[in-house]
Amino acid sequence: MDNTTHFGFKDVATQDKQGMVRSVFDSVANKYDLMNDVLSFGAHRLWKHYTIAMANVKTGDKVLDIAGGTGDLARAFAAKVGDTGQVVLSDINAAMLNEGRKNLINKGVTGVEFVQLSGEQIPFADNSFDCVSIAFGLRNVTDKDQCIREMYRVLKPGGCMLILEFSKTNIVPLEKFYDFYSFNVMPKLGKFIANDEESYQYLAESIRKHPDQETLKQMVLDAGFGLCEYHNLSGGIVALHKGIKIP
């Protein structure tokens, strides 16, 4: 791996990025859900609902949610897999994982396992899960290819991987509005609501550094997945990539 990588628009030492990302999410964890609702005008709930619908998860399945943060996907997956299934909510950030635990307890969700882990080094055996998901987390991973390979490894043959992430829109008026909103409004809202302008500036920049739809699709195929399709949401501002591990 190169000795440098990007942290937003800055070049930083590769070994430093993980700690820098951790500090961002330490800062925003307790306002994360509120900020998601405000910044996306509530649309993140629709994006996640669509992701769950595309997952083909059924009763008794085992699901791993990486960078699962405050637990939105884990809660929905838990309802689908039922008492005979298993959901693991994981995050590299302890503060975010604690928010997820509190949210699920407050909503009466039981049986979800919480594990602090890095998506680049998943501490589970090969062929362990029927579904592996990561929502709005891949762009913060230092080595995205390694993370996708790890997701492939722990999936059972026939299992599906879901990557929900901000992406690229080709609709020019929407792109112009999105750029203005991301760099002029989003950080100011971060300062006003979460008292943290800098973290939301990073989050806006990290979206622009993330691979576009076709590039990410190729990364998924290169990791070994026999099939990958993506679905643009909100005009391509967000995309859901679904990969299948062919038996």
Residues in the annotated binding site: 70, 91
| List of residues 6+ apart from 31 with CB closer than 8 A | 193, 194
Compute the distance between CA of residue 119 and CA of residue 67 in angstroms, rounded to an integer. 8
Q: What tokens does 183 get?
A: 């760099």
Full strand arrangement of the beta sheet holding 86-91: 113-116, 86-91, 62-66, 129-135, 155-166, 238-244, 227-233
What's the chain's length in residues?
247
| Residue list for the binding site for S-adenosyl-L-methionine | 70, 91
Instruction: Give the burial string for 11-34 (b: 16+ CB within 10 Å, else e).
Output: eeeeeebbebbbebbebbbebbbe
Cα–Cα distance for residue pair 108/14, rounded to 1 Å: 40
Q: CA-to-CA distance for 76 and 48, rounded, in angstroms?
A: 9
